[in-house]
A = this chain, B = another copy of it.
Amino acid sequence: MKKKVIVGQSGGPTAVINASLYGVVREALDREEMVGGVYGMINGIEGFLDGQMMDMKPLEASGELNLIRTTPGSYLGSCRYKLPESLEDPLYPKLFEKLAEYEIGYFFYIGGNDSMDTVSKLSRYAQKTGSDVRFIGIPKTIDNDLVLTDHTPGYGSAAKYVASTVREIGIDASVYDNKKSVTIVEIMGRHAGWLTAASVLARKYRGDNPVLIYLPETAFDPERFLTDVKDALEETANLVVCISEGINDGNGTFICESAGDIGVDTFGHKMLTGSGKYLENLVKERLGVKVRSIELNVNQRCSSSMLSGADLDEASAAGAYGVRAALAGETGRMVAFRRCPGEEYGLDYVTEDVNQICNQEKTVPLSWITKGGSDIGDEFIQYALPLIQGEVKVPSENGLPLFAYRR
């Protein structure tokens, strides 16, 4: 009997998590000699437990499957659901009964750290109980913080969005260039500064904005920051500064928490002020210059307007590679990228032990952070540039990007 494939998406959206879904489904449908059908789980493992699934095959004929490839966000819906730590928990036999009921032999989960934790637990439970269901993780995160892979699908497009958006913000800031001003851009990243580091790519020439860039990897000192800003304003009248949302004092206290006990709204609730807003007020008070802060917000992770061709292709290829690995007998593995040596950019696709990956975090090497934590070095630029290459023409209708959605 041919076993079936099931695939799910978990965690936050990215621009290409659906390209990985496309890759899994496309490859599985193409292997009908070995695969008896392809299911998608609605809202990840949480939905699957409730029996929420869909048959992916009909999407092929309707053309929806091709559209899914360039649709941002999670087509199947997502969840943030942590499986019980103890493999003795009654949830596991229940879950494996469901897998058996639907004749599932191959389980693919597209996500970040937490999703790899799910793959780890399920594959260990399978091993423990002698189940032959195979579990493969497909990496996904704009944070680029998964270990044992050169980078993660989703990062390239988010990095391209950040770099081009910051370049445009630099233009916006310099329009009235006869007065000094500071623009603080807050970029996603609680613990890893990969996405904020990508703002360095926005520079059109040496010395261009963003002149200052701060990541969570190094301790952030507000006094040092003020000195940096003051010095930079001597050279650049309209200064753009990029910061990670997660900049902290080096002892785990986020900078935005410094302001947390002050602002109180109409209802007596704390006004949760972001790091950018906090620094905006600090610069206003201490340096007395015109200042504004901009939060890039969710479009960093869900915009298709700056899709990286490289990222899109790699995300799809990662999904397809995962299916081939499972069919070849692998389980408890995550698809990973290994960068080929040499000048020209190229990747080898491999798999790595998911247990070594889950619940770990890869941060930006400290040697890539320069000028006392206020700039990014050339090593990062060499690393990141290939990941944002290639433009993608997203299908459009009536002047707007056309996206797939579940009806």
Please list the residues of chain A having a beta carbon within 8 angstroms of any beta carbon in chain B. 12-13, 43, 46-47, 71-74, 77-80, 160, 163-165, 167-169, 171-172, 174-178, 201-202, 204, 258-259, 262-267, 269, 271, 273, 277, 281-282, 284-285, 294-295, 297-299, 301-306, 308, 385, 388-391, 393, 396, 398-401, 403, 405
**Given the complex, which residues of B lie within 8 Å of A177, measured CB to CB?**
43, 77
Complex Cα distance, B177 from A80, in Å, reads 12
Q: B262, A169: Cβ atoms under 8 Å?
A: no
Query: Do A400 and B163 have beta carbons less than 8 Å apart?
Result: yes
Q: Contact at A294–B297, with CB atoms within 8 Å?
A: yes
Given known A-B contacts A266-B262, A295-B295, A77 and B201 have beta carbons under 8 A apart: no
Is A46 touching B178 in the complex (CB atoms < 8 A)?
yes
A12 touching B400, Cβ below 8 Å: no
B171 touches A204 (CB 8 A): no
Interface SS majority for chain A:
loop
A263 to B298, CA, bound (A): 25
Q: Which residues of chain B are near A43, meaning CB under 8 Å?
A: 176-178
A44 nearest CB neighbor, chain B only: B176
Would B175 and A77 count as touching, CB distance under 8 A? yes
**Within 8 Å CB of A302, what residues of B?**
168-169, 171-172
Contact B264 A265, beta carbon cutoff 8 Å = no
Q: Bound complex: CA of A31 vs CA of B283, how far in Å?
A: 50
